[in-house]
Structure 1
Amino acid sequence: MMMQVSQHHRSYYSQKSPAFLSLFLLFLPIFSPDLFSPLSRSYSSLFSEWNAPQSRHVRLLQGALQWQTPFKQQLELWTPLSHQGWKPCQDSQKPHSLPEKSRGYIQVFLDGGLNQQRMGICDAVAVAKILNATLVIPHLEVNSVWQDSSSFAEVFDLDHFINSLSDEISIVRELPVEYSWSTREYYGTGIRETRIKTAPVHASADWYLENVLPVLQRYGIAAISPFSHRLAFDNLPKSIQQLRCMVNFESLLFVPHIRILGDTLVNRLRYPNNFSGQSSEKYVVLHLRFDKDMAAHSACDFGGGRAEKLALARYRQVIWQGRVLKTQFTNEELRNQGRCPLTPEEIGLLLAALGFSNNTRLYLASHKVYGGEARISTLRKLFPRIEDKRSLATADERKKVEGKASLLAAVDYYVSMHSDIFISASPGNMHNAMLGHRAYQNLKTIRPNMALLGQLFLNQSIGWPGFQNAVVVGHKNRQGQIRVRKEKQSIYTYPVPDCMCRT
């Protein structure tokens, strides 16, 4: 008989019998998944939040709540970036002509979340250009974490995408009937000569000419999967690099209903009283990036006690099967190296130390936060004017995007691009995409100094004045200043000098 635990019993065991909980959690991972699968799924969520996380930085929190940020510091923080001597390249003399005859059709199957798929689309256009091939609208895979089956046309404005690139490459919405057999299902049922599985990470243009072009010439079609990160960032013609930039920053517009919802959220952030005569407010977008997947992969301790540690270890074992190498380091070592994502409490302390007052309008761009509202409560103490999609928009306004991770992420991306300041709690695809796109438009983006913050948060004796000063000094040059791309770095994160030209 399946064991059920009511709310009453959960409360009883958590208060009266902590030993029962510890023992159950200790032995839960060894039971057969088949025996416990429905139960383990429900308990995984329950146990990860069994002990509500307490504040880990009480002294700093008290200091932040009492601190009055000087007006001059606030003014400097909100001041837009001055012109930095770079602007998007506009090469009016560049010839635009399609090849007389396409060499065949290129298909790509893109995994990952929205921002990883976005980079894959840009690379797919570049590869089609390199091969003088016709690009089939990329297929977006169902992500194993987000479970979203949205297609390209449900996320991006398909007409704009095709029309904006019409002078660069040929693009088709679907294959002609003679190639209709070339589907995702076809490649999932066996080895196929038209599928390229061997594309190395950061492959060169020559690799595609030597390995994919012969397949195109023989069969008229080539399907490349996996494709994420399968094109190098270096040693490519300037025209190819600028084409990738054009796709990322100009050709990939979201579908109209996402832009409309995004504008609605931006207007409500700017004008919270819905009064057209009031002056507009400034707002910060905070990407928390603190979901269970992120917390487990980091192998760090987040203050949830033994129950949380065991729940994350179990999740890590199931998802990555022991391949997370960070688990060999202690929590202190990981934090000193800046490899632990900031908790909502810690990102709140960072914002307060930088000079944001408790009246700051804050928009949370995040998937479900690990630990729920209990984890966010400290952040709310520091910044009570927190908003997100659900607090700003009605259920009816959200109905076209609700339950679809890619569309929800697209809304957050749109709102982020219209914010005065963007900051992410830890590096990742969203952080990298915003860093590049906002640099392209000369917008302010704060990059947390993860190593510095890890060391400061480990220091149990530091007071608020010392913490605040160290944060300000350590982030002085991390607020959107242009950084020239180094070898092997992504042009989507660092668009100078490939995507931008000196004025």
Structure 2
Amino acid sequence: MVLPKFEVAAYWNESSGFADVFDVDYFIEQTRGYVEVVKDLPAEIASREPFKVDCSKRKGHFDYVETVLPALLEHQYISLTPAMNQRRDRNPAYAKASYCQGCYSALRLNKNVESKAVELLQAIPKPFLSLHLRFEPDMVAYSRCSYTGLSSKSMDSIEAARREGRKVLTGDAARLWRNRGKCPLTPSETAFILQALGIPTNTNIYLAAGDGLMELEGFTSVYKNTYTKSSLLTHEAFENMHGNTKAALDYYVSVNSDAYVATFFGNMDKMVTAMRTMQGLQRTLVLSRRAFANYTAAGLAGQQLAKAMWDAHREEYVRGRGSALPEYCFCEFKL
């Protein structure tokens, strides 16, 4: 296997690579015996284009044995698109063990990033809750959801981030999409749900969020002890960081937080919740956008809505593990 590459897109303005975040030599050493990892392509195939295998979730559910293995055997050299959501229960035991080793034992931040992460973690008042809040312009634009009550500045930012083919849904399509839980929670909606769950407003909260978070005052006006990377790190250190480095800091802090709450279940949330589970850490919760959308669509508000949201999260909140975590764990398989 060639050293992994990060998914990049022009609108992220991101150019950092695997080695800018992770300890490459450690990754190679820890995966030895499971799979051979090389830093660069062998010379005999470096000039060839790999056969691309699209494993993205929009292509439907499939497994690697049926889809990827035949392509690898036929073409010898393939590249895979990200596939965080694909099933792995039918993979052979050795493949599950290798996947577990690569995801949870072999990934370690490089020394430079880890030192910044430790510095950031130490600067946060304890105990604290790490909140992965997603309400950046590109996130909202990509969701195709419409919102009322946003500032003109936020609306302009969303429109500027909207790309061709991502028009706002309207009518029944918009209603069904929102009721399926596809629309990001606003900061004020997030604050409301946290209050409904009984999380005190004086809780120390670290915002694990990307640049350009909109409508943040809707959250910080309720939860005033809120901290961010930019408020805890020096201006120079923060401004010189790649986007992936900032995300790595959020990941490190979130894994090591006293509690973790996610408003969206994206790739980072999958990694954090899984790693916290692997380390035996509880107090991990993914908020239900679907429940909030359905209850508000039914006309619930105020205390009625708060009670409904508590009921929707009661089991996961008490247990400390969101239901989005898998019932089985492929890490139970060892070589």
TM-score scaled by length of structure 1: 0.58
Rg (Cα) greater in structure: 1
CA contact (8 A) 1:435 1:494 kept: no
Alignment of 1:285 onto 2:123: no
Please name the residue that 2:124 is paired with.
269
What's the offset of the Cα at 1:141? 4.7
Please name the residue that 1:248 is paired with.
103
Q: 3-state DSSP class of the match of 2:314? A: coil
Q: Residue 356 of structure 1 aligns to which amino acid in structure 2?
A: I
CA contact (8 A) 1:422 1:445 kept: yes
Q: 1:262 to 1:470 in 2, by over 3 A?
A: same
What's the offset of the Cα at 1:455? 3.4
Segments of structure 2 that go 5 or more residues without pairing to the other structure are 57-61
Please name the residue that 2:88 is paired with.
233
Q: Residue 118 of structure 2 aligns to which amino acid in structure 1?
A: D
Distance 1:483 1:390 in 2: 29
Match of 2:20 among 154, 159, 172: 154
Please name the residue that 1:17 is paired with.
none
Q: 1:452 to 1:483 in 2, by over 3 A?
A: closer
Segments of structure 1 that go 5 or more residues without pairing to the other structure are 1-134, 188-194, 217-221, 271-280, 486-492
What's the offset of the Cα at 1:312? 4.3
Please name the residue that 2:113 is paired with.
258
Q: Residue 354 of structure 1 aligns to which amino acid in structure 2?
A: L
Distance 1:300 1:482 in 2: 30
Please name the residue that 1:437 is paired with.
275
Distance 2:322 2:328 in 1: 7
Output aligned runs, 1:91-490, within 5 Å: 135-182=1-48, 187=49, 195-199=50-54, 202-216=62-76, 222-224=77-79, 226-229=80-83, 232-270=87-125, 281-298=126-143, 299-304=145-150, 312=158, 315-316=161-162, 319-322=163-166, 326-327=169-170, 329=172, 332-371=175-214, 375-398=215-238, 402-443=240-281, 444-458=283-297, 462-464=301-303, 466-479=304-317, 481=320
Q: 1:390 to 1:325 in 2, by over 3 A?
A: closer
What's the offset of the Cα at 1:233? 1.9
What's the offset of the Cα at 1:396? 4.5
Deviations 1:160-185 (A, max 9, x none): 10111112222222234444435xxx
Q: 1:314 to 1:154 in 2, by over 3 A?
A: closer
Q: Residue 210 of structure 1 aligns to which amino acid in structure 2?
A: P
What's the offset of the Cα at 1:350? 1.1
CA contact (8 A) 1:156 1:254 kept: yes
What's the offset of the Cα at 1:329? 3.4
What's the offset of the Cα at 1:320? 4.0
Please name the residue that 1:497 is paired with.
329
Distance 1:199 1:141 in 2: 13
Distance 1:461 1:179 in 2: 60
Q: Residue 146 of structure 2 aligns to which amino acid in structure 1?
A: C
Superposition CA RMSD, Å: 3.0
Distance 1:484 1:452 in 2: 13
Q: 1:176 to 1:287 in 2, by over 3 A?
A: same
Q: 3-state DSSP class of the match of 2:124? A: helix
What's the offset of the Cα at 1:241? 1.1
Q: 1:456 to 1:210 in 2, by over 3 A?
A: closer
Distance 1:268 1:215 in 2: 50
What's the offset of the Cα at 1:232? 4.7
What's the offset of the Cα at 1:386? 0.7
Q: Residue 129 of structure 2 aligns to which amino acid in structure 1?
A: V
What's the offset of the Cα at 1:461? 6.3
CA contact (8 A) 1:245 1:495 kept: no
Q: Residue 211 of structure 1 aligns to which amino acid in structure 2?
A: A
Deviates more, 1:201-210 or 1:403-412: 201-210
Distance 2:95 2:52 in 1: 23
What's the offset of the Cα at 1:392? 1.0
Deviates more, 1:144-153 or 1:248-257: 144-153
Please name the residue that 1:59 is paired with.
none
CA contact (8 A) 1:483 1:496 kept: no
TM-score scaled by length of structure 2: 0.84
What's the offset of the Cα at 1:328? 5.3
CA contact (8 A) 2:180 2:290 kept: yes
Q: 1:139 to 1:455 in 2, by over 3 A?
A: closer
What's the offset of the Cα at 1:426? 2.2
CA contact (8 A) 1:343 1:425 kept: no
What's the offset of the Cα at 1:354? 1.2
Distance 2:120 2:154 in 1: 34
What's the offset of the Cα at 1:460? 5.8
Q: 1:445 to 1:326 in 2, by over 3 A?
A: farther
Q: 3-state DSSP class of the match of 1:476? A: helix
What's the offset of the Cα at 1:441? 2.1
Deviations 1:291-331 (A, max 9, x none): 11221222221422788668746754xx2425x68545365
Q: 3-state DSSP class of the match of 1:197? A: strand
